[in-house]
Amino acid sequence: MKYLITGAAGFIGFHTANQLLKAGHEVIGLDIINDYYDPKIKYARLALLEAYPGFSFHKMDLVEGEAVKQLVADNKPDRVIHLAAQAGVRYSIENPHAYAQSNLIGFLNILEACRYAKTPHLTYASSSSVYGANTKVPFSSKDGVAHPLSMYAATKIANEMMAHSYSSLYQLPTTGLRFFTVYGPWGRPDMALFLFTRAILAGEPINIFNYGKHQRNFTYIDDIVEGVIRTADSIAEPDPNWDASNPAPDSSNAPYRIYNIGSNKTVKLLDYIDTLEKQLGKKAIRNELPLQPGDVPNTWADCSELGEDFDYAPKTTIDTGIARFVEWYRDYYKVA
């Protein structure tokens, strides 16, 4: 099939494109390649994708609505997987306008492009951040998400609502995936595992927020990609059991659905750091700090719906996942 992947030079986009290309599919990649983090790693990811004859790339800003619409119309992809976004909870506190541009206007342009091209299925990235002030765990896709703690989370909630309006108005099939703390080789340099590894190897202190009391559904990238592709390949349909008098938020009488996608167990941040230290063979200098504004203390995904509908069950332990990351990091940065 032919897939269009936005954010193809990004962490999850690169791995998703790579897996599809390995399977013999055609992939059209789109990315602006901004400088939110070092573009060198983005170009290195792209170089690997460009080795496949089935890959083509378009450097494009999603806010360019007509250009995005034309790209989708010209290529007529069988699936659009929208993974481009301005990421980062803390950065959204400092630069909220960047999130409005990329995550709201950019997503609207993707919806419009898919609408006019009659794209068979749009799958897009949401986030565990949408659960915000919720304290009931595990987080279920059937829970309300009306209390975001950051602009980033607010834009992801908005994306889900925007997708539903297009599914309802234009019968555009959409599937939203709420990612839970993805990690692995070729990861984002602004995320904890990358920052911790760099600092520990350099003998510098690591900042541990919330005094290390965080718990997270750390999910290895290969497990995430498997879920993304399985859901993208299965076109969303209306839920025949949806009740308008008691409306489930994760499905609809329109072709719309929402899933959590993450590991099936939570891990304490301090245990995560212990595992990293073991793989690096070096202890961290720990600088424990209070909870940061916008941060959610704990995330725990109920992924039972994804398991039931797609036989999805993440398999990679943090020991294996962190070992693979450290091996990649040492090789990529030539660190002994």
Active site positions, annotated:
152
What is the spatial distance between Cα 27 and Cα 11, in angstroms, rounded to a whole number? 16
The three-state (H, E, C) secondary structure of 305-319, written as one string: HHHHHHCCCCCCCHH
Q: Under a CB-based contact definition with an 8 Å cutoff, are residues 18 and 49 in contact?
A: yes
For residue 211, the 8-state DSSP code is G
Asked if 92 and 151 touch (Cβ cutoff 8 Å), the reply is yes
Angle between helices 221-233 and 11-22 (to 10 degrees): 60
Q: How far apart are CA 262 and CA 140, in angstroms?
A: 12
Q: How far apart are CA 142 and CA 258, in angstroms?
A: 9
At residue 59, the 3 state secondary structure works out as strand
How far apart CA 78 and CA 147 sit, in angstroms, is 35
Q: Is residue 29 helix, strand or coil? A: strand
Residue pair 10/46 in contact (Cβ under 8 Å)? The answer is no
Q: Report d(CA 84, CA 27) in Å as an integer.
A: 15
Gap between the Cα atoms of 150 and 318, Å rounded: 27
